[in-house]
Amino acid sequence: MDFSKHSPDRSPDNRILARRINAMMKKLLLYLIYASLLLVCHNAEAQQRIAASYPGIAGYNIPFWVALDTGEFKKLGLEVDPVLISGGSKSMQALLSGGLDFAHTSGGVPVQASLSGAEVTIIGTAANSMSAGVIAAKEIRSYQDLKGKKIGIASFGGNNDIGLRFAFKKNGINPDKDVTFLQLGGERNRLTALERGVISGTIMSPPGLFVAEAQGFSRLGDLNAMGMRYPELSIVARKRDLKERRDLVRRYLRAYLDAVRTMKSNRDATVRVIEKYIHVGSKAEAIKTYDYFVKSISDTLRTEREGLTEFLATLEPKTPGASKRNPNDFIDESVLEAVLRAR
């Protein structure tokens, strides 16, 4: 912009002044462009790269995927690398070694790790009940028919193991004597083993549960309906991070809570996320999966103590004194409560 052209006074002094103003405006424009570029670079650098594990391709991970897909983490300066780790003990090892910043796993996993001396703690829980069903071979019609049979689980001590033991005890089956557990990994592996007759039963969550049913396999029951209270999906961190990296924990939990809100308020967007990350066979299956899980995901991420108390009781035979431990020994919700108060 040349201000000299618009000056009514063409005297030499005014022309010099106009040129100076013109030069100053150009410098100001260059400065603004430079400042804008610095701001963009700063925002890019402000993204803190972290890693968080998830235990499998199942509906209880929906809030995590929503947070990734809708940018809830990025809004709070977090670039989250999702890491699939099937097996709770492996996720604890990765967390303790620094390979992970957060681990999503069943609540029993950090409890057992803590009892063994690991400095980890539950900072929140997305699902306080186990949303899964017991699936069996087509010829199996009752739990009693499973006596003497092989049962597939993902890993010993994980959600599958805990859930099936609960279901068997509830229905008159001794899990230590009446059946044999085989550690087979994820749901797809177990469904294949069921199809080939390698196992006679397993436990599955939607959408895998629906797929197995559609193939004609028997659905013997649902853990939710049996009244099982257990932290199926907890968020775990190193204890020292609640002191040394408290702001990181705060941002992570806030983003996760925002994702839960989005999940529950925006069905269509969440169904698209389910289609993208779980790879269901159809939109109808995605909707069915959403409807199955939406009520079981906690609005507050608070961990129900009842489920951990019951779990600690199951550890008593192999871990003397476990049943007498207070569940609060394994939970630190101080950051979560601060986030909830600020909402």
pLDDT in tens, the chain (343 residues): 444 444 445 555 556 665 666 666 666 666 566 555 544 444 444 789 999 999 888 888 999 999 999 999 999 999 999 999 977 889 999 999 999 999 999 999 999 999 999 999 999 999 998 889 999 999 999 999 999 999 999 888 777 888 999 999 999 999 999 999 999 988 889 999 999 999 999 999 888 898 899 999 999 999 988 888 899 999 999 999 999 999 999 999 999 999 999 999 999 999 999 999 987 878 998 999 999 899 899 999 999 999 999 899 888 888 999 999 999 999 999 999 999 999 8
Taking the C-alpha atoms of residue 91 and residue 109, their distance in angstroms, rounded to an integer, is 9
Q: Which of 234, 244, 259 is nearest to 78 (CA)?
A: 259
Residue 110 contacts residue 121 (beta carbons within 8 Å):
yes
Does residue 196 come out as left (phi exceeding 0), alpha (psi in the -120 to 50 range) or beta? alpha
From the CB of residue 165, how many other CB atoms can be counted at a distance below 10 Å? Answer: 19
Q: Is this model's pTM higher than 0.85 or not? A: no
Task: List C-alpha distances in Å: 110 to 16, 237, 274, 330.
Answer: 75, 9, 27, 8
pLDDT of amino acid 23:
63
Please state the separation of Cα 210 from the chain's center in Å: 21
